[in-house]
Amino acid sequence: MTAGVPGASNQSVKSRAAGASFPRGMRLLRHADFERVYKLGRRHFSASMTVFYVARVDGQTPGTRRVGAVATCGLRVGFTVGRALGGAVDRNRMKRRLREAVRLAPAPAEVGADVVINPKRSLLANDFEAVLNEVRRAFVVIEQKLATRGKILNHEGHEVSRRKS
């Protein structure tokens, strides 16, 4: 039984393979990056989390040289869990569950974006598979939305060629 959630257990969470981790290059770490995502980004809502995302441009990522081209080094993910969501034990459990879900979910490698995930209180009560499916769905939506950026789509979502005037 887990602390803080009566009747809940962590048996559905499989143990990590040795050496598997959430690498530093996949994490949002700086306050400025979080602020940029909140100010310039878009939102995706789901049952137990809100996902903020914005396309990353080269020059905003450490180690890149060119400025102005869209970065293609994958997603960087950060988490914000406010004190209103519970005590330290509950907040840390939310972050651990989200980190593991992000690690297990296949993030689109061809989309360069920064993502911030804000969980809702219901995340603690949800089964881990449900959380994992929500993270996967959020990544699919981010990939679709950022891939269509700059394209003109018709009412059915198909790309339309631009007319020359």
C-alpha 73/C-alpha 76 separation (Å) is: 9
* Mean predicted confidence (pLDDT) in 61-82: 64
- In this prediction the pTM is 0.72
* pLDDT class of 54 with cuts at 50, 70, 90: very high
Domain boundaries, the chain: 24-148
* Mean predicted confidence (pLDDT) in 96-114: 89
> pLDDT tens digits, residue range 21-52?
778 888 999 999 999 999 999 999 999 999 99
Residue 67, C-beta contacts closer than 8 angstroms, at least 6 positions apart: 57, 58, 59
Range 24-148 has CATH code 3.30.230.10: yes
Q: Is the per-residue pLDDT at 16 higher than 60? A: no
> pLDDT tens digits, residue range 119-137?
999 999 999 999 999 999 9
